[in-house]
Amino acid sequence: MGRYDRNMMCISEEENNLLRHKTVAVAGCGGLGGHIIEMLGRLGVGKIIAIDGDVFEDSNLNRQILSHTQNLGKPKALAALERMKLVNPDVELLPVMNIIDENNAGIMLKKAEVVIDALDNVSGRMILQQSCEDLGVPLVHGAISGWYAQVATIMPGDRTLDKIYSGLNDAEIKNPLGNPSFTPALTASIEVSEALKLLIGRGELLRNKMLFINLLDNNYEIIEM
């Protein structure tokens, strides 16, 4: 059996081949981003732009799939490249070892057909939203905190993050709960499923909606935005 045979039980051969010509940018290679990159690579997305200016530290080991005891202190984006060489060498992974800001976001994202948010701060997410709007590119948003998570898909002009984070700044949404191993994995899988639907043009999106996940009480709620 071929690498993508099991993919084609839920997406067509034509769709699977289409993915090989698609480019996805992942902003953040930590808890969410590592899982997202892993899943995109196994799906066979042709090119992944992995953006992160940070390095691994001990506190990442509990949840960040790209981290291990041998790469502490090393760039997260470079770890994504090394991992993809093992997972799927047919995928071109471009590591970008920079922090996204207003000056570089457009350059980093300009070749992407979908952008996936795996950041951990409001200011960075708002820059992503504006850059994606300027470029005419959809953005898949995800955020986690302890047992809780949220996912939304944002088309240019929707300004969904304005509604979610209106009046808030990074200091006001600091995460006091930390993040266990399972919350980023689940949230990343939903973000990737949204990205896949955008790439193949099929399925219902979480557009103008937010999926709120409460794993502690097994509650999944879609909120109209």
CATH of the domain at 33: 3.40.50.720
d(CA 64, CA 76): 10
What pLDDT was estimated at residue 9?
80
Q: How much is the pLDDT for 208?
A: 97
What DSSP character marks residue 91?
S
pTM exceeds 0.85 for this model: yes
How many distinct structural domains can be found in the chain?
Answer: 1
Q: What is the CA radius of gyration of the chain?
A: 16
Q: How far apart are CA 35 and CA 186, in angstroms?
A: 9
Residue 66's domain comprises 5-224
CA distance 49 to 37: 9
CB-count exposure of residue 132 (10 Å: 0-12, 13-18, 19+): buried
User: Within its chain, how far is the Cα of 120 from the centroid?
Assistant: 11
Each residue's pLDDT tens digit in the chain (225 positions)?
589 888 888 999 999 999 999 999 999 999 999 999 999 999 999 999 999 999 999 999 999 999 999 999 999 999 999 999 999 999 999 999 999 999 999 999 999 999 999 999 999 999 999 999 999 999 999 999 999 999 999 999 999 999 999 876 666 566 677 899 999 999 999 999 999 999 999 999 999 999 999 999 999 999 999
Residue 71: DSSP 8-state: S
Indicate the Cα dihedral angle 69, 70, 75, 77, nearest 10°.
-90
> How far is 152 from 54, CA to CA, in rounded Å?
25
How far apart CA 25 and CA 15 sit, in angstroms, is 19
| The pLDDT of residue 170 | 65
Q: What is the pLDDT of residue 166?
A: 84
